[in-house]
A = this chain, B = another copy of it.
Amino acid sequence: MGNKSLAAVAAELRRAVRPVLAGHVMPDGDSIGSTLALGLMLEQLGKTVQMVSQDPIPATYRFLPGVERIHIGTVPDADYDYLVTLDCSVPERLGPDVKPLLSRPGIRVVNIDHHISTGPFADFNHIDPTAAAVGEIVFDLAEPLGVEITVDIGTCLYVAIATDTGSFRYENTTAGTHRRIARLMEMGLDAAAVNTRIYDEKPLAAIRLLHQVLGTLALSAGGRIAWLRLTRAMEAEYGEEVDVEDLINYARRISGVEVGILFRELPEGQIKVGFRSKRAVDVAALASAFGGGGHPRAAGCRFEGELAEAERQVLGATERVVAEAFDGRSP
């Protein structure tokens, strides 16, 4: 328990013979990139590495070196001596197929993360909330592990760091973030080619879906709240294979808007509500009023029932919070 230094984590990882590495459910660029980078590093040290993920790898990341070796779903049976969890704030984030490994007799658990809310649920925890991405921590592990950052490893680390910082735009980006990227590029990383793979290969359906969703844009609270709808009909027509994460930002990005909301109809008759705020409103508190949670600037909750009723309740609550935050001042 407690927080271990990078050197201590590296020493522990060097002891592993047959480690299994796992990121979180619905994996993003940092989860996948960090898992692959650390997996390739541990293989350099001669270990028999297994990488697993509860959920499939989104199409965007399927070009990453080694990605075909991440096993999806049920964990292959083997005599693992270490479990390394990456980018998981709580054990539940591993997913139902992977989480049981935590309590497997004889397995030692190393937890590497950067979420401020992460508990020390493992035997060895390295939690650094100042890291922009887990990819930064894995980058820093290369030296104490004594491994070389190859172009393949650098590609995975770049994807981890670039996606978790919104291409270095978010406030988690530090001078150290840029220095690490400079080193990756000096090692031969073709960052532009990686960015083309991530950002310039959108499925046609994603652009058609964006058009549909933008058609639902509505504002309230004098332009302080903007929201969008993603209906079952739209997803049935365009969206099942499409990454819809960025849609909400088209609402948040509008000048004068403080809170952007996306209402998404799920197949099971639920409504998934996403919240993003700019600076004044704590959307984690807002989401928690509906049984959800998240960060002050990005949060979410789920709603049983009809879209219209979810909108009525959520918009009502958001308008009250916005009115308090701005105390009657106009946008």
Contacts and interface: CB of A to CB of B under 8 A. Distances in A.
B195 A169 contact: yes
A208 B168 CA distance: 27
A90 interface: no
A310 to B, nearest CB: 22
Interface stretch (A23-31, A44-52, A173-181, A298-306): A173-181
Contact of A211 (B178, B195, B217): B217
Nearest to A169: B195
Contacts of A174: 185
Interface string A164-201: 00011111011110110111011000011101100111
B207 A214 contact: yes
B182 A168 contact: no
Interface in A207-226: 207-208, 210-211, 214-215, 217, 219, 223
A202 interface: yes
Contacts of A167: 167-169
A278 interface: yes
A71 interface: no
Contacts of A223: 204
A126 interface: no
A252 interface: yes
A95 interface: no
Nearest to A203: B255
A250 interface: yes
Contact of A250 (B171, B183, B207): B207
A254 B199 CA distance: 9
A29 B183 CA distance: 26
Contact of A178 (B181, B193, B195, B200): B181
Contacts of A201: 253, 255
Interface string A249-268: 01011111000000000000
Interface of A: 167-171, 173-176, 178-179, 181-183, 185-186, 191-193, 195-196, 199-204, 207-208, 210-211, 214-215, 217, 219, 223, 250, 252-256, 278
